Amino acid sequence: MNTKRSISMVAVMALVLVAATVSPSLASAQKQVEGKFTLPCTTYWGTTILPAGDYTFSVSSVSQHGAVLSVRGEKSMRVTVIANNNSIVEQNALELKRSGSAAVVTKMYLAEAGISMQFRASASARELVAAATTPPQTELAKIIVTD
């Protein structure tokens, strides 16, 4: 009987220790950044093609280096991405590689959260850039954070 009570005490203490360790991680997982931006032209973002226009977004961190990005506008998308929070980010912007009337999103910078995210271009976006008659220009689309 005494052994069972000791085992129960150890189990309860272990549970409390685990809860104390996990709680800060869960609190940081709730961090969310919201904002808006305007895409100047048809834009390839990963496997999604978004028409020019106004969009809202939210970024929720799910781990120390992972985030879920949701974009809403005329067309919507949701993607899990690796977020680099070890770099110095001085602005809120989308980095676009633009060629003619189309662009490809390559990075997102969020100064308030201190993170940058890099996006891989889809095969069709890479073909678009390769087929361009003029070299693509890097352009920054301003992001307004509405937190």
In this structure, the answer to whether residues 17 and 41 fall within a common structural domain is no
In this structure, the answer to whether residues 46 and 16 fall within a common structural domain is no
Question: How does the average pLDDT of the chain come out, rounded?
Answer: 80
Contacts of 69 (CB under 8 A, 6+ apart): 57, 58, 59, 78, 79, 80, 81, 108, 117
Secondary structure of residue 26 in the 3-state scheme: helix
Could you list the residue range(s) of the whole structural domain that residue 42 is in?
31-145
User: Structural domain tally of the chain?
Assistant: 2
Which pLDDT does position 20 carry in this prediction?
A: 38
To the nearest 10°, report the CA torsion of 114, 27, 55, 43: 60
In this structure, the answer to whether residues 97 and 117 fall within a common structural domain is yes
In this structure, the answer to whether residues 21 and 85 fall within a common structural domain is no
Residue with the larger pLDDT of the pair 74 and 126: 74
What average pLDDT does range 69-76 have in this prediction? 96
In this structure, the answer to whether residues 75 and 6 fall within a common structural domain is no
- The pLDDT confidence band at residue 104, using thresholds 50, 70 and 90, is very high
Contacts of 23 (CB under 8 A, 6+ apart): none
In this structure, the answer to whether residues 112 and 89 fall within a common structural domain is yes
